[in-house]
Amino acid sequence: MRELGGVAAAAYALLLLWELRRFRAGESAFDAFHAMIADPLVFAATLVLFALVLVHAVTWFMLVGKAQPVAITRKPMPWKRAFGINVALWLVVSGAVLFLFYGGI
């Protein structure tokens, strides 16, 4: 499941690349692309990709603390604390992306 999340990320990256290509082709091409991904079947498939990527991200945050004890402190940090720090960082980074590129919440 977690490894499929990585593949889902690549699949969505190809979708982002396709969107970029359609954007470069002009407004009507861009709108046609968005009409295509709004199709219920395509939209459902992308929601599955989203769920897989979320699982992949959360399990990655868990693994970071488990697989490689954080070396900021002298003693290895408990993985739950490392996970909490990663999730907090994730929220901050996500907020920054929303603020910088999407005009905030």
Partner 1 sequence: MVWGLFSLGGFITAFLLPVVMFVSLAAVPSGLWPADRIGFDAYATRFADPLFRIFLFVLIGGSLFHGMHRLRHILLDTRLRRADPLLIVVCYGIAALGSLVALYYTILADWFGIRVPFL
Of the pair 14, 74, the CB lying nearest partner 1 is at 14
Does 93 sit near partner 1 (CB under 8 A)? yes
Cα distance between residue 24 and residue 12, in whole Å? 18
Interaction of residue 101 with partner 1, rule CB under 8 A: yes
Q: Establish if 39 lies at the interface with partner 1 (CB under 8 A).
A: no
Residue 1 CA to chain centroid, in angstroms?
15
Task: By CB under 8 A, tell whether 82 contacts partner 1.
Answer: no
- Total binding residues for partner 1 by CB under 8 A? 42
Q: Which of 1, 16, 41, 71 binds partner 1 (CB under 8 A)?
A: 16
DSSP structural state of residue 71: -
Instruction: Kindly state whether residue 67 participates in binding partner 1, applying the rule CB under 8 A.
Output: no
Q: Tokens 């940090």, residue?
A: 77
Smallest gap from Cβ 86 to partner 1, in A, equals 8
Q: In this structure, are residues 2 and 59 in contact, taking their beta carbons and an 8 Å threshold?
A: yes
For residue 28, give both structure tokens: 């009507």
Rule CB under 8 A: say whether 40 interacts with partner 1.
no
Beta carbons of 77 and 69 less than 8 angstroms apart = yes
